[in-house]
Chains A and B, each alone.
Chain A
Amino acid sequence: MNPREFPLPDEPRGRSSALIDHLEGARLFFVRLAALIRKEALAILADRSSRTILFLPVLMQSLLFGYAATYDLSHVPYAVMDQSHSALSVRLLAHLDGTGFFRRVTDVEAESDIAPVIDSQRALMVITVPRRFEQGLAAGESVPLQVILDARNSTTASTALAHLAAVVGDFNQELARSQGARQPALSLETRAWFNPNRETRWNFMPALIASLSMLQTLLLTALSVAREREQGTFDQLLVTPLSPVQIMLGKSLPPVMIGLIQSTLVFLITVYWFQIPFAGTLPVLYAGLTAFVLAGVGIGLVVSALAATMQQAMLYTFVLLMPMMLLSGLSTPISSMPEILQTATLINPLRYGIDVARRVYLEGAGFGDIAGDLLPLLVIALLTLPMAAWLFRHRLA
């Protein structure tokens, strides 16, 4: 009477032992999971334009960041009001110009001309050499140099000032030597570890290995369930025997892979294009990155499970992204943030991701060193991924 030719997929075939049932169950689990992963990957990669969007922006952004986003200063424009017109003042200015760091754009004659030069941003600073410069120094007095700084960008201003101080310090020593004095008792010999030339690029590029992939994996996952809900395919997915866990795995693995590929792309650019030496080992780096991408995908999936439409998902993602970037330590040190914001960074996966990437890349940190980052990342992933799986079925329509 049974018109069916095949047994139902779930029905145990014949009188098989419990072990075979288990194996069959496991086989079915992977058949279903593989089908979903395949579909997800196809959905992402089938379209040429979406394929391009996955990798081209990462390429461009990492090049842009590498070249454009830098705090390193060179050719800082400055002006001088030299009231002493002495040999010594000329020597000092020659020192300044000789560093290649400063570039004199104009000479100012009167005090009233200083403001316009700064206001118009023709010069970042104006140095005033006092009338008694040479005489005072010759008499062994301390002579003040007045520096007026454009501190509208405080970072630039303080960097420039630090460089100026170094030049003036050199000049002092030289002067002291020439005047036959002894070396000062104390002198500072600095070695900048991990970034000997203190280049911003060394700071930024490893951080980008983590942060650039974050943006896209978050968006990709946030849209994935929301898109299916919007197009009605999610119901079709939910009526299949796929379990929430399978859906969660199927929805997260392709974005995790894509995130890792994007990170690899940035990593290769950092190593081979910008030639920043990689101090760490690949297993440690990838362990950290995987934990980081998992946490990001978990957050994306939760957003996606909560959103009813793609538009909502997109909005939620951008609302999340900005604070995540700010509180990550990407461009500003976490230690200088107010206490409460420092606490907030503790739930930000990007904070840990950037930390892992920088420390492994620049310091050569090992597993023991990054445990403090890995653990929170795994906690975030282990909280968000099951939550997303639960939300698939329990979000009220």
Chain B
Amino acid sequence: MSSPAPAVLRCERVRRTFWLAEARHRVIALVDINLQIARGSLTALVGPDGAGKTTLLRLAAGLLQPDAGSIEVLGIDVVREPQSVQDRISYMPQRFGLYEDLSVQENLDLYADLHGIAREVRVPRYARLLEMTDLNKFTTRLAGQLSGGMKQKLGLACTLVRSPELLLLDEPTVGVDPLSRRELWQIIAQLVEEEHLSVIVSTAYLDEAERCAEVVLLRAGRILANGPPVSLRAQAAGRCYRVTPPPGVPARQLQTRLLDAHDLVLDAVPQSGEVWFMTRAEGAVAAAESGREHGRSKEADESNAASGAGAANAAGGTSNRLPLGGLTVHERAPRLEDAFMLLIDRDEGVSQASHLPALSRDRGNPPQAAALRGSREPHSHELSHGPSGDLNTARADPMNARSEEAPVIEVHDLVRRFGDFVAVANTTFSVRRGEVFGLLGPNGAGKTTTFRMLCGLLPATSGSLRVAGVDLRHARAEARARIGYVAQKFALYGNLSVRENLRFFAGAYGLSGEQSRERIDTVVEQFGLAAVVSGPSGLLAGGYRQRLAMAAALLHEPQILFLDEPTSGADPLARREFWRRITALAQAGTTVVITTHFMEEAEYCDRILIQDAGEVLALGTPQEVRSLGGQGDMDGAFIHIVEQARGGRAA
């Protein structure tokens, strides 16, 4: 590679491994990395967990030494002269070291002192940084009292107290709500544009990577692809489609069905009320359509005869057609996420879907689909033929079928105050059985407080709260026996083995003896934990940890599962796997209440609640909420709704 443009980062055959003392083996973080990043550009590092993104950033910052290969940053050999590189770059790690007991201004001063910034330079620099981060009004506030988004902005400001030539950011937007996320990206874009700063940022959000000039896709320590987003997207061209589910059918059900046809469908996600999917072969939809015309009636008979077989089996087996049941399919432009999924799938050589323990199949038929098989609705004639005829049985989804049942969660006029501060104000909503209910809101909106009250972790100041048919004020232990809770960060006992953790939680939920063993074996199999069951849970990788946390929360087969930002910081693959489990759980009748910062994940929910400053801003199906927010996707709707409400309050 001989590029005339000066590179801010040049890696040649870089290799780095780590010795894991506890696990007693060496893991490869990066292998033969050859990379050249041009000056003045914004570059994104994307890839699944454990791809080596952080290692690459730390190598570039001179904080780690490579085992082999050479790294030049700004033309300087960083291995030989880490200090001279560090004098000219800034690095913001995933957890930036803010001093929580110091104020915003004191944090800035501290970092300015550490970097030896001259006093006279500070004044204009501070002014600019505070204006850019919109922290002007908060200079005297303690950093520990800032919201998650503000903390990240302050972290960025502290990183930028001096003007670096290269800025390295490690997942700066993890745990940050869409509003703050947008602000952070505006700041970054401004820096690139006005100060001609070179920025390398690692991220789990592909919509963020889409804004970058260059994208580097890493996986398992190697570079899978490297180029501008447009050229990466082009790789997925001709495979991307969208389809609208029949009325009343949650998009996630159609999505599950598509994913189950994993010979044909590489990826599917609910999006704006539709399901966006990607086929394995280019132009597969046209082929499938023609195939359907061919042997339609015969297939339909078989499908009806085998009443026990779920749609997934019928569609995912040998059939070479998409399980769409005559729904109209439109082609759509590929997104970076499609390219990401495609490239990773190619790299794997095996289908991603075949990796996932197919929950819906393990558990047999989704009960409501089986139970309602007889009750086809006559007016859905456009769907009542073809191999996926049972899609229309699924349309009688849990919400409709159970609408006359008492809600599993009833919240009425819920209030929570901390001193004078009203964290949650007069909140009223209910959740039906089998519903997937999303709690959304900016950082500090009160959703965590609401969530903690629902789980019985925090008493309400006033209002009524019934969970699983039990008043939380009076019979908390009884209510707790019926819920499962997955905390935001890994909250199991790290020094105990996976099995010990499960044994403990089984016992805590009153399971003993044979029953306990049986349930533990079931969840171990269900969540694919068999390989790690005797190892210490503290050493598990991120994905396994979450699976274990979910397994522990589901041991007692709770009626309601609470999940607090379960996908924060997770890569797209892990998020898909997670949501497949949630979909299967909901189909089996478990109610799921979930908080998330990923607006696209709101699409998986039956209904969502948007909160800000303790108030309910919107409550309804994703469709309804999107229409409240005008046109566009959920991200846009969310920002619109929150800003409108804030504008209203300010006026």
Contact = CB atoms under 8 A, between A and B. Distances in A.
Contacts of A47: 495
Contact of A31 (B371, B494, B512, B559): B512
Contacts of B495: 43, 46-47
Given A3-B367, A232-B489, A243-B477, A31 B496 contact: no
Nearest to A233: B491
Contact of B503 (A6, A35, A243): A35
Majority SS at the chain A contact face: loop
Nearest to B468: A8
A239 B457 contact: yes
Contact of B515 (A6, A243, A397): A6
Contact of B508 (A1, A2, A32): A32
Contacts of B504: 35-36, 38-39
B557 interface: yes
B516 to A, nearest CB: 9
Contacts of B500: 39, 42
A34 B504 CA distance: 9
A397 B452 CA distance: 11
Interface stretch (B225-233, B248-256, B478-486, B624-632): B478-486
B142 interface: no
Given A10-B510, A35-B507, A1 B371 contact: yes
A243 B476 CA distance: 9
Contacts, number: 105
Interface residues of B, number: 43
Given A28-B510, A35-B506, A241-B510, A236 B481 contact: no
Interface string A234-249: 0111111111000000
B487 A236 contact: yes
A191 interface: no
A54 to B, nearest CB: 15
Contacts of A242: 477, 508
Interface in A117-173: none
A231 interface: yes
Contact of A238 (B457, B503, B505): B457
Given A1-B367, A4-B557, A238-B457, A9 B507 contact: no
B contact patch SS = loop
Contacts of B562: 239
Contacts of A235: 457, 485, 487, 491
Interface string A291-321: 0000000000000000000000000000000
A232 B509 contact: no
Nearest to B556: A9
A397 B515 CA distance: 36
Interface residues of A, number: 35
B481 A8 contact: yes
Interface in A1-30: 1-6, 8-10, 28
A240 B496 contact: no
Contacts of B18: none
Contacts of A31: 507, 510-512
B572 interface: no
Contacts of B480: 239-241
A238 B481 CA distance: 11
A231 B427 CA distance: 30
Contacts of A6: 515, 557
A32 B487 contact: no
B371 A32 contact: no
B493 interface: yes
Given A42-B500, A239-B456, A231 B477 contact: no
Contacts of A35: 503-508
A239 B485 contact: yes
A32 B504 CA distance: 9
10 contacts: A3-B367, A9-B510, A32-B507, A32-B509, A38-B504, A231-B491, A237-B508, A238-B457, A239-B485, A241-B509
Interface of A: 1-6, 8-10, 28, 31-32, 34-36, 38-39, 42-43, 46-47, 231-233, 235-243, 396-397
